[in-house]
Amino acid sequence: MHNKEVTVVSKTSRMASRLIPSEIIRLSGEINQRVLSGESIFNLTIGDFDPGIFPLPKALHLAIRRAYDEGMTNYPPANGVVPLRKALSAHIERRMGLSTDPEDILVSSGARPLIYSLYKTIVDPGDVVVYPVPSWNNNHYCHLSAAQGVAVETLASDEFMPQAEALGPHLENASLLALCSPQNPTGTVFSKENLRSICKLVLEENRRRAGQRKPLYVMYDQIYQELCMPGTQHEHPLILEPAMRDYVVTIDGMSKAFAATGIRVGWAFGPREVLTKMRAILSHVGAWAPKPEQMASAWFLQNIPEVDAYLDGFRAAVGRRLNGLYADILDLRQSGYPIDAIRPGAAIYLTVQIPWLGRTVGNRRLDQVSDVADYLIDQCKVGLVPFRAFGAPDAGGWHRISVGTLREEDIPLVGKALKQGMDQFGD
């Protein structure tokens, strides 16, 4: 008898069947399940905030309640309520020195729908999207858009920020250059010189195209820009090269600056013809931010003393966690332990090196990145995210620490937990 060939018929689209779930969400979910079962683990994986540690600004909380009390629960305009877009225009000019017309601002339910709609607006199937690795989710947005992703590896010596000379060779055929600063996962930022050089490359490429081809656009995700630590300067393409205004779409929002990840108010500003198409896509998806949260955000952002006071206190609290962990890790390294970190500059992330591949503990050998991640959770009781989850190669043992759920009194305990795990190495 001959075995019959069995044809497996997919029940979903090719895009959906090949979509890779988020490694970060998977890791965080597994740790949370173990915590619910009684284990004590520091879950430093997901880029979110514990509201018990980092609550909403009180003025924003009260404004949301007011908006609901006043019955503002019908559909908002597809591009965002006028009071919010006007408040954002003033906020952007005050905080960044950029003049932006409210009509050139698009509001959505957080930054993610804006990024998705930008990809769908700019990228045709098969188009090239250039992005650095490690970086957050660009590989997935390329998949959703049927784009040809070109991942440009970055170096620890450059604090994992993409350099102009590395990006340049890939721009000729690209439709979109996806950049983020402060960078997720690294918490590092562009230098003025490097970002200006990248802008000049984009301008040169668009001069070559001279209207004969679709322009090369830049997505500039600055969702963490309000969380720059003292001594760290956030740079923006339009400030360095005003001629970039026709090509840059900036992504921002309330979520990270005000510990408001569940409020779902994000915004983009950029060329009107691009934002108009993004708005049309989002109107079909229905991804507008809830009207009460939009109105509350408008009222809050106009309350300048409350905004400034919250940001000052919030930034300091995040900085104490980042700098405390950094100091403890440096102490361990100087004591001869196999661990290192990059000085924190921004966001809620610390880049830490866990070069433990090949180490042995009893009969256990850490041969894979997943073995290191499991050992961190099982023995150190610390959950971190390897850079592999952000598209980077496994070499070097680099990981992201997120401090949004870390209590200040627990900072020394994380260092002690890592030390305890390394003390068990057999080599």
Whether the bond between 134 and the residue before it is cis, its omega within 30 degrees of 0, is yes
DSSP code at position 393: -
Nearest to 269, CA basis, from 72, 77, 84, 75 = 84
Backbone conformation region of residue 54, classed left if phi is above 0, alpha if psi is from -120 to 50, else beta: beta
> Residue 383: what pLDDT?
92
In angstroms, the CA 212 to CA 415 distance is 56
Token reading at 211 = 């209207």
**Domain boundaries, given as residue ranges, for the chain:** 14-43+308-422, 58-303
Q: Under CATH, what is the fold of the domain 14-43+308-422?
A: Aspartate Aminotransferase, domain 1 (3.90.1150)
> Residue 14: what pLDDT?
86
Contact, 291 vs 81, CB < 8 A?
yes
For residue range 115-154, what is the model confidence (pLDDT) as tens digits?
A: 999 999 999 999 999 999 999 999 999 999 999 999 999 9
Going by pLDDT thresholds of 50, 70 and 90, the confidence category of residue 298 is: very high
43: pLDDT strictly greater than 60: yes
Beta-bridge partner residues of 153: 133
Q: What is the mean pLDDT of residues 151-164?
A: 96
Q: Is the dihedral of CA 106, 217, 348, 46 positive or negative?
A: positive
For residue range 18-33, what is the model confidence (pLDDT) as tens digits?
A: 888 777 778 788 888 8
Token reading at 110 = 């957080």
**In 3-state terms, what secondary structure has residue 183?**
coil
In angstroms, the CA 260 to CA 110 distance is 10
* H helix or E strand, kind and range, residue 196: helix 192-209
> Residue 34: what pLDDT?
85
For residue range 64-97, what is the model confidence (pLDDT) as tens digits?
A: 999 999 999 999 999 999 999 999 999 999 999 9
Q: Is the dihedral of CA 163, 169, 171, 176 positive or negative?
A: negative
Percent composition of the chain: helix, strand, coil (DSSP 3-state, to 5): 45, 15, 40
CA geometry: angle 220, 222, 223, nearest 5 deg: 130
Q: Which residues contact 105 (CB under 8 A, 6 or more apart)?
A: 79, 80, 85, 88, 89, 267, 268, 269, 275
| Angstrom distances, CA of residue 402 to CA of 148, 187, 216 | 30, 10, 33
CATH of domain 58-303: 3.40.640.10
Same topology, domains 14-43+308-422 and 58-303? Answer is no
> Residue 30: what pLDDT?
84
> Residue 6: what pLDDT?
66
For residue range 228-267, what is the model confidence (pLDDT) as tens digits?
A: 999 999 999 999 999 999 999 999 999 999 999 999 999 9
> Residue 242: what pLDDT?
96
For residue range 342-372, what is the model confidence (pLDDT) as tens digits?
A: 999 999 999 999 999 888 888 888 888 888 8
